[in-house]
Amino acid sequence: MGVAESFHGYGPEQGYDFLREKIQEYYKSFSVDLEKEEIFISDGAKSDLGNILDLFDRGITALVTDPVYPVYVDTNIMQGNQLLYARAGEENGFLPMPDPSVKADLIYLCSPNNPTGAVYDRTGLTAWVNYAKEKNAVILFDAAYECFVEGDLPHSIYEIPGAKNCAIEFCSFSKKAGFTGTRCGYTVVPDGLVFGGQSLRKMWLRRQTTKFNGVSYIVQKAAAAVFTEHGAKEIDENINYYKENAKMIMKTLDELGIYYTGGKNSPYVWMKCPNGLRSWDFFDKLLEEIYVVGTPGVGFGEAGEGYFRLTAFSTQEKTKEAMERLKILLAK
């Protein structure tokens, strides 16, 4: 910063081309073609998931799943919007499908899901895209955990035909590359997405150039390194490390005969609390008796009561120790 030649000052609000072009190339790896102008570098998916509501009228209707990442709910409450809930449970594998009798303006989907770890396949996402187009709704698709997806499961909603006409996608470098605290992500707003007769891409560009000064050059340079050969290798190693933790958690729950979702294609394992315990009672039991912590499911909505979220984001040593303690506790 002390050298004029290397100090960049204010950058483009939409992000530097060197990063947006890397993201373009990444999307091509799962057969999605994007225009550079459709990619907006953000200070994180969480921020944009809230800020995107600036484009819509107050008092509209938003459909969220339950359990749900609380940001979707709280930002809509602050906006004065009406909330509708699509209940997720064991009966649908925590992957609710659209109800044709329900009309919403916005639809929030997260896959792989936080908190449940459940992942929509192409058939499931196609049903949601068709529903959104039929109802003239916009899908807000949270793809923060797409880097954990394997096989033919979709990384992006834009892998589904027609999604560019009804969906905005939010992505994060925090879970993919450990950017927690440095704040960097990206949002994709397709040029063909129109709502209320207005181009949402053009509206979002105006919003960002008015209210946002962009992510720092240093952080964007680091984000671009994520997509280099060396960066991709390190990230694959890191994600595989967390997947091994998830396997340890799943193996333990299988041995204990406890229902769960997630773990595969996700860093989260969503387990049913044993012996009919409520979420906070199970939290207290783990904390007080074996000094292990997780997240009570009821914190993600009413449908989360009686469930508990475990995470693979730890060391393998700590994960192994926690699972050994859990087995001893629940085998009593």
Give the mean pLDDT of 246-275. Answer: 98
283 in the same domain as 176: no
8-52 confidence digits (pLDDT tens): 778 888 999 999 999 999 999 999 999 999 999 999 999 999 999
Q: Which residue, of 160, 190, 225, is where some domain finishes?
A: 225
96, pLDDT greater than 70: yes
Q: How far apart are CA 12 and CA 215, in angstroms?
A: 9
Output the pLDDT for position 1.
65
Q: Which residue has the tokens 């193996």?
A: 251
Structure tokens at 241: 């490390």
Both 47 and 97 in one domain: the answer is yes
Q: Do 138 and 175 fall into the same domain? A: yes
Per-residue confidence (pLDDT) for residue 106, from 0 to 100: 99
Lowest mean pLDDT among 175-189, 226-240, 242-256: 175-189
71, two tokens: 């940001």
Whether residue 251 is predicted with pLDDT greater than 80 in this model: the reply is yes
Is pLDDT of 179 > 90? no
Domain assignment present for 319: yes
Q: Are residues 200 and 73 in the same domain?
A: yes
Q: Angle at Cα 52 formed by Cα 141 and Cα 45, nearest 5°?
A: 55
| Same structural domain, 292 and 314 | yes
Domain end point (choices 194, 225, 256): 225
* Domain span at 210: 9-225
Same-domain check for residues 182 and 246: no
Q: What residues contact 170, with CB distance under 8 A and at least 6 apart?
A: 42, 45, 48, 49, 52, 140, 141, 142, 143, 144, 185, 187
pTM to 2 decimals?
Answer: 0.96
Give 60-80 pLDDT, tens digit per residue: 999 999 999 999 999 999 999
Looking at every residue in the chain, the average pLDDT score rounds to 96
Burial 121-146 (b: 16+ CB within 10 A, else e): eeebbbebbebbeebebbbbbbbbbb
235 and 214 in a common domain? no
Tens of pLDDT, residue by residue over 296-321, are 999 999 999 999 999 999 999 999 99
pLDDT tens across 141-167, in order?
999 999 999 999 999 999 999 999 999
Do 147 and 253 sit in the same domain of this protein? no
The CATH number that applies at residue 268 is 3.90.1150.10
